[in-house]
Structure formats: structure tokens, C-alpha cells
Amino acid sequence: MPRRRALIVVDVQQDFCEGGSLAVAGGRDAARRISALDRRRYDAVIATRDAHIDPAGHFAPDGSAPDYETTWPQHCVVGTAGFEFAPELTIDFDAEVHKGATTAAYSGFEGTDPATGRPLTAVLAELGVGDVDIVGIAADFCVAATASDALLAGFGVRVLAALCPAISDEGADAAFSALADRGAQIVREAP
């Protein structure tokens, strides 16, 4: 019997797309292309979302420049337009996971379903998922962290790299190389 496969859509939110406070080039195009995926290829589709309330030092202090490694511009604050999914993202989700309310969180596996409080691992287990395809923003941060934690949790992992815009191409290449070394399949051609 084939293993059940889920698509994990990482942080395709307004603030991470062009025009947002922490925009990643290609975010809106990725949202459109993710939405064009054949939903029938997946047993489940799960979205992650940065959901900041007061993320304890994650944002650069007022008047200070972020270092873009440990501090960032204010982004994805719950209740703001930047928190919302990009309007180009029209694929239907079976579940949603929020992360980073009161602390920095990059991996979707650090989040929980806001309706039930269940972590992503439990959501996937309940759906009987053994393999995941990962897409979203940004390849070199939240996508990489989510893929890394999926490997640690024992899932078969494919990263659809063409649907993962990056803050830095060099950062994405390093992240994808490290993930491949650990057993992830990096799919570079567009699906």
C-alpha cells in the first residue's frame, strides 16, 4: 500500500510576498504556482503561518535595523494584513498550523493547529501521512527548517524547490544541499 502524502505550504503570507514588510522576490508567483498544483496528488494539504503576537526579540527594536539573521522587521502580526495568506494562494487546506506567537519559530513543526492545539506532527499522524512535499517561503529559512524537522520526525521529504523562493540563492543552495545530505529529495524542476 502506498504511503499517504501531504503537501505542506509554508508561510505564503502577505508580508513575505512582494509589497510586504519582509518581502521575498517571487513570492506571489510561487503562490499562483502552488495554487495550480493538482490537489488530487495529495491526501492532505496543510498550511503553516507565521502568527506573531509578541515574539520576544524576534523583531528589531524600534529605530534599530534588523540583522536579518536573528532580528527581522515586524511581520506577520496576527490581525494585520501581512498575517493573511497571499490572495494568489487559492489552494484548499485540510489543516492550518500557526507558529511564533511569543517566540521566534521557523519550522512548521514548532506550530500548532489554532483550533485544536495539536502540533503539526500530530495533525499529520491523524491523517495517516508518511511522506510530505514542502513548498513555500522562504527556502533558506522556514522551508528549510520545516523540511529539517520533517526528516527528524521520520517523514519522507521532498522539497519542490521551484516553488520555494529564497531570501538568498546562496542560502537556499546551502539549505537544499544539507537537506539532501540528510535524505530529503530536492526536486528542482517545476511540477
CA distance 43 to 30: 21
Closest alpha carbon to 50 in 90, 22, 29, 25? 22
Catalytic residues: 11, 99, 142
Q: CA 34, 39, 43: angle at the middle one, nearest 5?
A: 120
Closest alpha carbon to 88 in 29, 15, 153, 174? 29
Is 102 exposed, middle or buried (CB count within 10 Å of its CB: 0-12, 13-18, 19+)?
Answer: exposed
Q: Which helix (H) or strand (E) holds 181?
A: helix 169-181
Closest alpha carbon to 11 in 122, 110, 143? 143
